[in-house]
Every structure is written in structure tokens, then in C-alpha cells.
Amino acid sequence: MELFLYKVLKVAAASLKMILLMTLIAAFALPQLSDAMNLGTLQKQSSADIGAGETAVFHILFWNAQDQEYSVKISDSKMPQGWTVIVNPKQFLLNSTPAGNTERIYLPGAKNTVIAEVADIYVIVPKNESIGNYIVSIMAAAGNGTGPGFLLMQERQFSFDVNVVRGFVQKPAEAADPRTILINTMPPISEQSAEYNASSNTERTQEENRYGRFAVYLFAGVIIIILAWRVYLHD
């Protein structure tokens, strides 16, 4: 009975595979876009000393030296509890000739000056905030949104050190060192199994979880063995 069921399932799997192979995927069927996407950014200030209840203002320049315009959306990604960050403008179309709040930036490579859109970042510190250094970071995503295939977007993260110099005297909140660099050490494909490459993300996540659990079990086992050995020696 089990052998019969196994054969039935095997035939069904083979049939399904054939159907899938005969089905053509139309994904990634896109006209080739070869337009370049240029994004230049300049963070004019990275730190400010202000008192509790006050507002720090930072400026970020965005420019696009290419002809094709794209959208830029700025979002606040990290701020201390109770703080308010206002970004103006929060979303805008960036081209080579922006209007409004602008500055100019000289591009030494092009020996040319381009007009940059200025985004004002207002960081409002709560009145009851204690003295200390705080980190506020925002993220800007630039590109022409989503569409068929793999569209490109550029992102930039901007961090601001806000030093609250007046207010309630409390122990400064601990903040992560923003200058810590984490280097990606992911192994290349050649060092991975073929199953890994062919799997979906969900499958790979399950694989990672399995390896993680195995590592925990192994570590726990080693600890138990070491403790048992110590107890044995002590006895």
C-alpha cells in the first residue's frame, strides 16, 4: 500500500514538474532601461547642541545631475522616545533644476555647478528631556517606485548627534555607537549548497532556523558535558 502511494505521488510530482516546465514565466519581461540614476547628497550639519524643549534644524542637500527625474521620500527611521522630527519637504521630485528651497553644489568632476534641493530637518526635543547625547536618523529613498522586474532605488541614511545641554539632570540614555561598521561576511554562492541557491526565501529562512537551533543544542550539550566533567572531577 505504501509502495503504491509512493508511486502515485512520484507520478503526480513528475506531472506537476512537466506542467511547470511547460509553463512560461513572463516575469521580468521589461524593456531595457539604460538611463542612469544619479543621486548626490550632502549633510550640511551632523550635530547640534540645544536645550530641552528646543528645536534643532539640520539641512540636507539632494541633487540629480542626470536628465531623468525621480521621486525622493524622506522618512524618520530612528529617534528617542517622545521626540518629534519634521522633514520639509518630506517627498519631492528631484531633477537637475529643482525650484524652491535650493542651494548650489559644485561638482569637481563635471566642473559644473548643479542646483540642489534643500530638505530641512527639524528635531524637536521634549521639554522634559534629560541632558545627554542622542541620535536621530532619517532615511531617504530615491527612485521611480515599484514596477515590473527589479527596479532600482537608492537610499541614504543621515544621522544627527543631538546634544541636549540643558534640562533635567539625569543619567544620559545609552546610545549605540553610530560609527560602528558591520562588514557583511556572507559566504559566496560557491561556498553554499545547491539547494540553498535554488530555494525560496521561506525555505532558506527555515534552513537558517534549523542551523540556528542545531548550534544552540550543540552549545548546550558542550556546556552540560563540561559541567558534568567538572562535577565528576570535584567528586
Q: Can you tell me whether residue 135 is helix, strand or coil?
A: strand
Chosen residue from 8, 33, 57, 224 binding other proteins by CB under 8 A:
33
Helix (H) or strand (E) run with residue 13 in it: helix 2-22
CA gap 145, 142 in Å, rounded: 8
Residue 143 within binding range of other proteins, rule CB under 8 A: yes
Place of cell 521561506: 202
> Cα 221 to the chain's mean position, in Å?
36
- CA–CA distance, 31 with 165 (Å, rounded to integer): 55
Closer CB to other proteins, 169 or 182, in the complex: 182
88 or 192: CB nearest other proteins: 192
User: Shortest Cβ distance from residue 137 to other proteins (Å)?
Assistant: 8
Return all residues near 95 (Cβ < 8 A) that are at least 6 apart.
64, 67, 68, 69
Binding to other proteins (CB under 8 A) within 196-215 occurs at: 196-204
Q: Which of 8, 47, 84, 147 binds other proteins (CB under 8 A)?
A: 147
CB nearer other proteins, residue 80 or residue 126:
80
Task: Decide: is 57 part of the binding site for other proteins (CB under 8 A).
Answer: no
Residue with cell 525621480: 70
- Collect all residues with Cβ–Cβ distance below 8 Å to 197 and sequence separation of at least 6: 189
Q: How far is the CB of 88 from other proteins (least distance, A)?
A: 17
- How many chain residues interact with other proteins (CB under 8 A)? 82
Q: How far is the CB of 70 from other proteins (least distance, A)?
A: 9
Stretch that binds other proteins, among 81-89, 162-170, 188-196, 221-229 (CB under 8 A): 188-196
Q: Do the beta carbons of residue 97 and residue 78 sit within 8 Å?
A: no
CB of 19 to other proteins, least distance (A): 9
Q: Which three cell numbers stand for residue 215?
A: 548550534
> 2, 3, 4, 150: which one contacts other proteins (CB under 8 A)?
150
* Residue type for position 29: A
Member of 14, 35, 91, 93 binding other proteins (CB under 8 A): 35
How far is it, in rounded angstroms, from Cα 216 to Cα 187?
A: 21
Site string for other proteins, 68-107 (x = CB under 8 A): x---------------------------------xxxxxx
Q: Is residue 183 part of the contact set for other proteins (CB under 8 A)? A: yes
